[in-house]
Chain A
Amino acid sequence: MKNNYDILVVDDEQVVIDAVVKICSEDGFYVDSALDANEAIQKLNRNSYKLIVCDIMMPGTDGFGLMNVLSEQKISTPVIMTTGYSTVENAVKSLLMGAIDFIPKPFTADELSNSVIRGMNYLKLQNMVNNSDSNSDIVYVPCPAKYFRLGNISWVCEENTGSVLIGANDLFVKTINSVSGIELFNTDDEVVQGNACAFIKDKDERMHPLLSPLSGRIIEVNEAIINNKNLIEKDPYFEGWFYRILPSDSEYEFKNLINCSSDRL
């Protein structure tokens, strides 16, 4: 018989599964688990899940392989990727392949549950898009043409001077329940693609990391968003930018980003 679960956790380590089950159950989610990709696919075909939390490094088919199978079988369940081999490459590859989030292992209970909560919000937003007719309100603003985005999390906009502006995607901000605070890095700090470059606090004091779309050195921090936190919700792509950075290896890193112009075709 078909069961309706909230979350399917796929990991080859029982202790990780146990931890995820424990944390998510505490948050009120109904969690199922699979020890490898094949079992996950069988369960996905049998039951319905809202969200998948998936490890990358697994014996047999790995996390990326599982994502390929999902897109082949047209299973649109959002995926949160996690791995012990938490390199920049794995993070950006996951997001490029369509994962909605990436959590490097080891993670804390809060980091996991925050990501899961954002995932659930993401699902709600997507359902609103799917259910709304074309005349109704815009659910979220896609990033403008000529911008590039890291998954649905952050964007980057090239400036003529060689520096770039980076900021948070509207969809990402919308998955956070009302921004109550922002923690920013300082000028001259280094940011690394796929690693946290800022933390956004929601009304429940949960910290949500913003993954940087590019690596580089911060040359200017947007003071306006510190004073006016709503700016990142109101005008996420222009006035609500986070940093101006000098990219260190933009040529290579841009290959990991999605061109926002292609979203509009």
Chain B
Amino acid sequence: MFKKIGFKLILVVGITAVVIIGIFSYYNIKSHSNALIAEVERHANQLSETVKHSTRYDMLLNQRERLHNIINTIGEQPGIQSVRVLNKVGEIIYSSHEDDIGKMVDKNAESCYVCHNANEPLQRLPIKERTRIFKPLPESAHSENPSRVLGIITPIYNEPSCYEADCHAHEKEQTVLGVLDITISLQDVDEQIEQAEIDTVIFALSAVIVFSLLLWFVVKRWVDKPVKDLVTATHEVGTGNLNYTINEKRNDEFGLLAKSFNNMTQKLSEARIQLFQSDKMASLGRLAAGVAHEINNPLTGVLTYSSFLLKKTENNPEIHNDLKVIVRETKRSREIVKSLLDFARQSVPKKNPVNITDVIEKSISVVENQLAINHIELKKNLKQDLPLITLDSNQMQQVFINLLVNASDAIGKKGGTITISTDLIKLSPYGITHIKKATCPKRHDLMDNEIKIDGMPSIKLKVYSSGRTGFINLDPVYGRHHHLINWNLNPNDLRVVCPECETSLLNSHKCPECAALAYSIEVPSQGTIEGCLSNDCSWQKWDFVDVGGLKEYCEIKISDTGIGIPKENLPKIFEPFYSTKGQKGTGLGLSVIWGIIDNHNGTIKVDSEINKGTTFTIHIPCLTAVNKN
């Protein structure tokens, strides 16, 4: 918890907030209390001037009783601690506290210190110097709970009216006749300041808490959760689940990170499949080499002896014919072993125009017995007069035998039905046609063999968008749109060029569907392909292919009434080493089949429902379509 980035962030920001608010509060309280004290000072000064002036007449008349009354009255007012009048030698002559009268005040006492600390007593003082704040000693205090007090002394200066008065109490030479000393309790002020301090601390604490909570929420919402998602995702990928994707919806850096992460895992999984594929091919190659060598030697024995006997038995038609079968079938085995080797080495399939029905019939004859043993009924629904298809009949036979055996395994021993049907269908080139070559107007190759989309080299374009440069890879299948665009293109500020010569590939017209910018690339001797550059639009146009209209395909369907394939496994079944047969299967069958169909420019797809059965549908282009390519 304490190591988490969110916590550290909150800690740092929290400390900063505490420091800032602390300093702010300190100065705030200070200035507040200064203002309060100044106000009290002003008030005290005013009061003492008032006292001085209102007693002046009485002093002149030397009316001591009245003076006492005035001072007592004032001294009784709340907040005013004491009012005293001292004569020049320090004797208290009037005081709001009766018992103080007659006492001498030490020259070093607070009220006297200001003037009397110098050798020569000062006579005139500014107001600031006349005030003092102090805490009375408990024994000298008049209240039980002594609070700070503010004292102000006001010197009473000698005036002509004083020394000319009848009483002749004062000499003419005296400058200061005495001092009026008023002390005012600061209890209220102190309470106010204390209250302000408490308020400020409460405010500061709650601000820090609110601030931290807000930060915690923000961090959790915008940092912690995406980081956590990313950590989970990397962990998932780390443990081998390359299908794990992160939500890309956010439009901040985490959204970009998620996108590039998803892209990375996609690439990784493609690379892994390719690795699997090549690994599979390598092991299959070694296996085939071993099998070929081991089988070919005994086959040599069979073939040489049987063909030798065949020559010698020309006069014996009965044996001769039997031997012919042996020789023919051994030669067929030879072709099978050879095709195994060829396939392992991914050699060019030996394609000839053949009748697909014959290939299917031959395949059926191989598995017929096995099906009969398992009580499986085989329904044939083969359309006659199918056009010839250019294919490698040995490889295609391998496909059908494999699919039939799989179907039989799916049904098991309880019996069921396998239906194999063929038909001639017409499919739009959209979503099917493979773009095998694409160039810029200056004939630079745009095909990217390094970045493959679904196993096929993609079309690479260089893009400038909003000051950034990058590449996008287009799906080589016309109309399928598995494009790899790893960043958000800004449709208003976009330049698409050939990676080699920087010639612009932007189309002169905009997309007719969404009016975004469109690209235009050339296919040598097959016209140009146009497409929309917006992420949300799927407009693509290839006149050359579209003009040809629907293409003829031979459709072969193999359905069984077996156990079916769970939905979550469907995307995986064409992957190498995917097997449901446990120890029985190698997991190579369907991936090899996929490879063969792909080699014939065909497609294979699967539909399945648990406990209802599975249907494999193969589409292979008919001869006319092949010739045009």
Residue ranges of A at the interface with B (Cβ–Cβ < 8 Å): 13, 15-16, 18-20, 22-23, 26, 57, 83-88, 104-110, 112, 189-190, 192, 215, 248
Contacts and interface: CB of A to CB of B under 8 A. Distances in A.
Contact of A107 (B293, B300, B347, B351): B300
A84 B348 contact: no
B564 to A, nearest CB: 39
A84 B297 contact: yes
Contacts, number: 86
Given A190-B350, A190-B351, A13 B308 contact: no
Contact of B304 (A83, A106, A190): A106
Nearest to A56: B293
Contacts of B311: 109-110
Given A85-B292, A190-B351, A109 B345 contact: no
B304 A85 contact: no
B344 to A, nearest CB: 10
Interface string B279-311: 000000000010011111111111111011011
A44 to B, nearest CB: 23
B334 interface: yes
Given A15-B297, A23-B304, A87-B345, A106 B330 contact: yes
B291 to A, nearest CB: 10
A212 B307 CA distance: 25
B329 to A, nearest CB: 12
A108 B304 contact: yes
Contact of A108 (B289, B294, B298, B327): B327
Which A-B residue pairs are the 3 nearest by beta carbons? A84-B296, A19-B304, A108-B307
Contacts of B310: 109
What is the predominant secondary structure among interface residues of chain B facing chain A? Answer: helix
B293 A106 contact: no
A26 B308 CA distance: 9
Interface residues of B, number: 31
A23 B296 CA distance: 18
A23 B307 CA distance: 10
B307 A110 contact: yes
B192 to A, nearest CB: 98
Interface string B299-334: 111111101101100000000000000010011001
B347 A16 contact: no
Contacts of B438: none
A22 B295 CA distance: 21
Contact of A19 (B294, B301, B348): B301
B338 interface: yes
A85 B319 CA distance: 32
B300 A22 contact: no
A109 B305 CA distance: 7
B352 interface: yes
B293 A85 contact: yes
Nearest to B327: A108
B338 A109 contact: no
Contacts of A23: 304, 308
A109 B347 CA distance: 28
A109 B289 contact: no
B307 A105 contact: no
B341 interface: yes
B338 A19 contact: no
Contacts of A190: 348, 350-351
Contacts of B300: 13, 15-16, 19, 84, 105-107
A16 B297 contact: yes
A88 B305 CA distance: 26
Contacts of B334: 106
Contact of B341 (A18, A26, A87, A189): A87
B296 A86 contact: yes
B352 A112 contact: no
A105 B299 contact: yes
Contacts of B302: 106
Contacts of A83: 293, 296
Nearest to A112: B304
A196 to B, nearest CB: 12
Contacts of A87: 341, 345
A88 to B, nearest CB: 8
A9 to B, nearest CB: 12
A192 B392 CA distance: 14
A94 to B, nearest CB: 15
Given A190-B348, A190-B350, A106 B296 contact: yes
B330 to A, nearest CB: 7
A190 B302 CA distance: 29
Given A22-B305, A190-B351, 17 more contacts: A16-B304, A19-B301, A23-B308, A26-B308, A84-B292, A84-B293, A84-B295, A87-B341, A87-B345, A105-B299, A106-B300, A106-B302, A108-B303, A108-B327, A108-B331, A110-B307, A190-B348
A214 B339 CA distance: 19
B308 A85 contact: no
B289, B297, B299, B347: most-surrounded residue (chain A CB, <10 A) = B297
Interface string B341-362: 1000101101110000000000
B303 A106 contact: yes
B292 A15 contact: no
A23 B304 CA distance: 8
Contacts of A18: 301
Contacts of B292: 84-86
Contacts of B299: 105-106
B245 to A, nearest CB: 40
B628 to A, nearest CB: 14
B305, B308, B327, B338: most-surrounded residue (chain A CB, <10 A) = B308
A215 B348 contact: yes
Nearest to A85: B293
A215 to B, nearest CB: 7
Nearest to A15: B301
Nearest to B338: A86
8 contacts: A15-B298, A57-B293, A84-B300, A85-B292, A85-B296, A106-B300, A107-B300, A190-B348
A13 B295 CA distance: 12
B626 to A, nearest CB: 10
Contacts of B295: 84
A192 B349 CA distance: 10
A234 to B, nearest CB: 32
Contacts of A86: 292, 296, 338, 341
Nearest to A248: B348
A105 B298 CA distance: 10
A263 B330 CA distance: 41
